[in-house]
Structure 1
């Protein structure tokens, strides 16, 4: 196939431009933004893009100067037959026409697209998403010159292998049966495993693996269910036991608590009785002391009165006044306090008084009535009167005390009664204190608190046991429709079957994988010999650049070319580690060699476009590139070079077109 001429109208920056290609070498030169790449892009889209294409592709082709639809006319030869291709890109109103010039046979629209695909060697037109990758091994776009070309020949892989086999690889290829077996092994591996070595979805191994996982999950579910039931039975039995223990212990604790409370109540009652008796004892003791004090006062007054009568039986004015020393001896020193009636708190020296109470006050005392405080100070008054008057007053005071406290016999009786009552109260208090001490109230209180805490614990345990019994009973009764143990046995048997099935599928998959590996290992030497024609052709082109010491290495593995290397005297270098300029040069040599091999399918020639493909190559290497491109042209390839520096290619001997 060779490009003859190209005419574009209303295509991006070109209003109308026409160029004629040289059958061997064409150089298109011009500054940036002069439309060099646009011309070869238009030719490429005419060959592969559907004329009714819309969207961004159509928008990118539209003219910047007019609203007319982009139009491309390409004249080319295929197998020696001339064709004229015309495409007008305007979306749904687009037009396509293919005409064979020597026979005037013509195709329009969709038929033109089908006929064009057939002429180019495709079964059907190229889909829109595949257009950019078409002829990527022949059409080296600007910026793509340093890309490994072995990754850009996927669509031409089969055709390339067929041509290599036709050129001399037949003698080293395996038999048809071996080829079919190898393809079958590889296909089986690809159907079974992903590129990462994992089972592929939909494969028998993946299905067995999925079934095994499902069976394992079912078994684990059944196992968990039976374990839960066993745990529930165990918990249920333990809860029943705890409930029984709590139910047995609670009545004992309650009975003991009742007993302890009764004893504490008894101790409290005895303590209250003892306190009441002690208050009575205090009152009786005060009463007894008052009686003793009053008796002593009366005895003292009685003695004083008797002495006065004896010493002064008679007294006249002639006797004169008593001597000063005698006067203090006859001073009365007592006050009688009697509460006749009334209410409210009345305290005498801190002791409460009751209505009807009489007190003899012989010393300074404090009387409280409500919030009022009074001090009573009995005082002896010296009287300048006669001794007879004093004696009379003493007699009157004595008579008052006698009326208040009675005579000596009555006083002695009252004192004896008070002492007897005091003794009785003291004995009763001692008896009550002994009974109270025997009860040990502090110990009873501590024991009651301990038993109450134990009762609380037992009651909580009983409540918890009841709740646990209800929960476990509900679990035990919930799944009564089926036998969980039978389900577990069935799930276990199913799991064993799935494990065996998975082992079988895995062994089979591994066996096929191993067969494919062995086949690949045995095929590799043959593949290396099979690629010798292509490597030899690459070497012819590299010799133009590096001399006879420059060679290429290329592997064919599983029908795919890979592992491109440049072999120099210093050793082999992977494509990726080469400098930018060397990558461009090695890639160009490989592309030329591939095109030379594939040219036989296109009438002995194919067009190769190099769009600024050697931007990283130094000027000295450019001259070597000229020899490589001229060699390709001599071997029948059509070389089209686009450059911003046409002077670098002045010695190329190409038809030069300047834009």
Structure 2
């Protein structure tokens, strides 16, 4: 399988993202929060999560920036065809579409999910319920997600990698068959025997061991029942004896005592009834006297209270009148302060308006001055542009007068010169020097005599005569190529001369000087053009300087017209105006700004004062409102007190009319107290005589005595019934012979327990035999690890350094591969003891080796992805990691690397994709 293209919409921060993957190594780079992990998770869930899934895993894909449901489209090669997958995650309405080359109709729904599962080599595409549990283990051996690079893949269990497919591929590479048919038959039968007895949760139902356990449990229950029956017989006999004793005790002692107590209570009841009748008569005489006493006391108390309230109202009225006068005076003073403060506020507001008007005119004057400066600046720019244009025209004329040789033509001229010079040097090196040191005969060179000590240098062949009898011919350069060199020299010299004439120069040095001079003029012209463009860029786009100047003049006339037409202009300082009402110009800009600053300061100062006075005025209004409110409240209170005083006066008058003056009421109270004291003494004597033995208490005691006799009779009846039941139960239990039944149940229990033990020992023996057989298989199955370990070592060798070092791992038929680590200097180092960087590198080599082994079942290619998987790897070892990835690509794997720092991977990447910064 090979990934080709990915298209995302509305995935977290990605509104729209398209990525084409290289068949080799694809590098995807981006800063933190640029969406690299979002891309990985979207592709992973698009491949392995149903489109109708919901929950946190789908919600995590949704974008908080863009509306719409997440859409994921993937193109990939699998099973000899190119497939296009499209999934939109929208809950129950989610859609999926799978289309492949050579397929007439695209698949959708569950049919598409089933075919996708077959293409990916998984059992099924998971839904919402399985997503949290199953999804993290899908392609965990191929895709290294961010933050998981340092975790041991093998410790997470076989469900995190394709153990069955890996075993199948590795068995094909093993040297010999790992399991014989007999071994497989024995293993199958042992597993069947163990599975017939045990399950993962315990003993299998309906197995022989289970039946023995059930029989033992039934025998144990029967034994417990027999023991209970024996214990019940013994306890029932003891209970019957105790019940007989209790019945004798109740009949002989308790009944006579209750009869004696009844007679005593009835005698006491009669005497108490007579005393209570007399006490009731005296209490009836006390009640009207006490009621009359309370009435007279309440009248006397009301009279005193009304009098006190009348005096209090009188005092409150006097105090309230004084307070009312004071409040009226304060309210009048507050109103005067409000009027004064309001007038002060109006004056300050007028001053602020004057300063605001002055500031407005000063700002306009400042703008007029700035407009004048801008006009002068525009004029200077115009002059500067005109000067630069004149210089540009002059340089252009000088530049056009010089020949445009160009770099290529100059190089051609240099080549011609070098060829001429080279031929001359070669001819010069082939020249012959003839020196006559001493001669006793005449020596002629080419017919010309040569004197002693004379030297001749000749570059062509020549003839030497010595006397009349010696003559020899000399060819320089061994007589070969000299003439051809002369012809080449003449040809190159003619070409060089023609080139100089064509460019109107006399030498190469003169051509170089003219080209240098032309380059200098071009640079000067470019510099002037840049300055000219800079002057043009200083104003608004394509607007000309004259047009800008015209706009500034129009704005100046508008401001002058506004300033002279203001009716409030007369309020300004006369120093700013001329005799005809116009502004004195030009004014110094700094002076204007100082005056404008003074206007702003005064405006702010007055504004602060106005703000403070407004707060003061608000406070005075609040005080006025509170004083007026208190005055109204006090007036109302005085009216209420006056009405209350009148009411108390009338009430006291009516009491005196009805009951008389206070001395008469006090005399009546004295007589009532004497009568009440006499009757109270009689009531106290009777109550003391009765004490606590009231008639009601005696009645309660008699009622309790009746209840006790009734309970005693009922208890006797119950005990009689229990005695009959216990006798009947003892007879029934005795007929069952409980001691003999207990002995029989104990024998049956021991027999069932022995059978269970024998069956359990047999089952454990089968388990142990299976375990021993599996251990033997595991020792033989270690050959599974050989090709995988060799593959890991081939990737790790650049990192290990020592060729004797390598990795180690073990294999278990049920738990798969485990105990991954390194072997260094003859010692095994466990995975947990490695450094963070070495864990990442070993994990990377393991995943590359697994993918390399599994690719045979996936069209000889699998995509392996690293999402920031080597963050703890130091720069020196990252080169070895790059060689690992390059080696994986050469073996046919597709590698995808996502990293914040793309620099180390750019040298080996077949394609680099840069995600936009967040």
Range class of TM-score, shorter chain: 0.5 to 0.7
Match for residue 863 of structure 2?
607
Describe the SS at the equivalent of 1:553: strand
Is the 8 Å Cα contact of residues 8 and 73 (structure 1) preserved in structure 2? yes
Residue 187 of structure 2 is aligned to residue 182 of structure 1: yes
Residue 764 of structure 2 is aligned to residue 510 of structure 1: yes
* Greater share of residues in helix: 2
Describe the SS at the equivalent of 2:174: helix
Match for residue 11 of structure 1?
11
TM-score of the superposition, structure 2-length normalised?
0.44
Describe the SS at the equivalent of 1:640: strand
Describe the SS at the equivalent of 2:224: helix
Match for residue 111 of structure 1?
111
Alpha-carbon shift at residue 6 of structure 1 (Å): 0.4
Residue 785 of structure 2 is aligned to residue 531 of structure 1: yes
1:350-404 CA distance string (max 9 Å, x none): xxxxxxxxxxxxxxxxxxxxxxxxxxxxxxxxxxxxxxxxxxxxxxxxxxxxxxx
Q: 1:266-305 residue pairs with structure 2 within 5 A? A: none
Is the 8 Å Cα contact of residues 197 and 207 (structure 2) preserved in structure 1? yes
Residue 856 of structure 2 is aligned to residue 638 of structure 1: no
Is the 8 Å Cα contact of residues 810 and 818 (structure 2) preserved in structure 1? yes
Change over 3 Å in CA distance of 1:239–1:49 after alignment to 2: closer
Describe the SS at the equivalent of 1:76: strand
* Greater share of residues in strand: 1
Q: Which is worse superposed, 619-628 or 116-125?
A: 116-125
Deviation beyond 6 Å, 4+ runs, structure 1: 236-243, 465-472
Alpha-carbon shift at residue 478 of structure 1 (Å): 6.6
Change over 3 Å in CA distance of 1:598–1:483 after alignment to 2: farther
Q: Distance in 2 between matches of 1:477 and 1:621?
A: 95
TM-score of the superposition, structure 1-length normalised?
0.61
Q: Distance in 2 between matches of 1:160 and 1:564?
A: 16
Q: Distance in 2 between matches of 1:511 and 1:124?
A: 39
Name stretches of at least 5 consecutive residues in structure 2 with no aligned partner. Answer: 253-718
Change over 3 Å in CA distance of 1:211–1:37 after alignment to 2: farther
Q: Distance in 2 between matches of 1:97 and 1:610?
A: 28
> Could you tell me which of 136, 142, 157 is aligned with 1:138?
142
Change over 3 Å in CA distance of 1:204–1:20 after alignment to 2: farther
Alpha-carbon shift at residue 19 of structure 1 (Å): 0.6
Describe the SS at the equivalent of 1:148: coil
Q: Distance in 1 between matches of 2:843 and 2:194?
A: 32
Is the 8 Å Cα contact of residues 174 and 783 (structure 2) preserved in structure 1? no
Q: Distance in 2 between matches of 1:555 and 1:189?
A: 25
Residue 403 of structure 2 is aligned to residue 147 of structure 1: no
Q: Distance in 2 between matches of 1:123 and 1:570?
A: 42
Describe the SS at the equivalent of 2:97: strand
Describe the SS at the equivalent of 2:60: helix
Change over 3 Å in CA distance of 1:166–1:61 after alignment to 2: same
Name stretches of at least 5 consecutive residues in structure 1 with no aligned partner. Answer: 251-464
Residue 284 of structure 2 is aligned to residue 28 of structure 1: no
Is the 8 Å Cα contact of residues 26 and 639 (structure 1) preserved in structure 2? yes
Is the 8 Å Cα contact of residues 25 and 654 (structure 1) preserved in structure 2? yes
> Could you tell me which of 162, 171, 191 is aligned with 2:168?
162
Is the 8 Å Cα contact of residues 566 and 574 (structure 1) preserved in structure 2? yes
Change over 3 Å in CA distance of 1:186–1:44 after alignment to 2: same
Match for residue 393 of structure 1?
none
Change over 3 Å in CA distance of 1:140–1:232 after alignment to 2: same
Alpha-carbon shift at residue 195 of structure 1 (Å): 7.2
Residue 557 of structure 2 is aligned to residue 552 of structure 1: no
Match for residue 407 of structure 1?
none
Change over 3 Å in CA distance of 1:575–1:194 after alignment to 2: farther
Q: Distance in 1 between matches of 2:838 and 2:162?
A: 25
Is the 8 Å Cα contact of residues 172 and 529 (structure 1) preserved in structure 2? no
1:188-246 CA distance string (max 9 Å, x none): 546655779x656776545544543453243134224324534655x479879999xx9
Q: Distance in 1 between matches of 2:882 and 2:866?
A: 12
Describe the SS at the equivalent of 1:572: strand
Alpha-carbon shift at residue 513 of structure 1 (Å): 1.2
1:431-466 CA distance string (max 9 Å, x none): xxxxxxxxxxxxxxxxxxxxxxxxxxxxxxxxxx99
Q: 1:186-585 residue pairs with structure 2 within 5 A? A: 186=191, 188-189=193-194, 192=197, 199=203, 204-206=208-210, 208-209=212-213, 211-230=215-234, 233=237, 235=238, 473=727, 476-477=730-731, 479=733, 482-485=736-739, 487-547=741-801, 548-559=803-814, 560-569=816-825, 571-585=827-841
Alpha-carbon shift at residue 142 of structure 1 (Å): 0.9
Q: Distance in 1 between matches of 2:207 and 2:789?
A: 38
Is the 8 Å Cα contact of residues 5 and 74 (structure 1) preserved in structure 2? yes
Q: Distance in 1 between matches of 2:818 and 2:200?
A: 16
Change over 3 Å in CA distance of 1:203–1:25 after alignment to 2: farther
1:594-643 CA distance string (max 9 Å, x none): 11111111101111111111122222221111111111111111111111
1:314-350 CA distance string (max 9 Å, x none): xxxxxxxxxxxxxxxxxxxxxxxxxxxxxxxxxxxxx
Change over 3 Å in CA distance of 1:114–1:474 after alignment to 2: same
Change over 3 Å in CA distance of 1:211–1:23 after alignment to 2: farther
Is the 8 Å Cα contact of residues 191 and 200 (structure 1) preserved in structure 2? yes
Is the 8 Å Cα contact of residues 778 and 813 (structure 2) preserved in structure 1? no
Change over 3 Å in CA distance of 1:546–1:242 after alignment to 2: same
Alpha-carbon shift at residue 483 of structure 1 (Å): 4.9
Change over 3 Å in CA distance of 1:193–1:80 after alignment to 2: same
Q: Distance in 2 between matches of 1:2 and 1:629?
A: 16
Q: Distance in 2 between matches of 1:8 and 1:241?
A: 95
Q: Distance in 1 between matches of 2:204 and 2:899?
A: 48
Alpha-carbon shift at residue 60 of structure 1 (Å): 1.5
Q: Distance in 2 between matches of 1:72 and 1:237?
A: 87
Work out the number of aligned pairs and report it. Answer: 440
Change over 3 Å in CA distance of 1:227–1:540 after alignment to 2: same
> Could you tell me which of 157, 173, 194 is aligned with 2:178?
173
Describe the SS at the equivalent of 2:895: strand
Is the 8 Å Cα contact of residues 236 and 473 (structure 1) preserved in structure 2? no
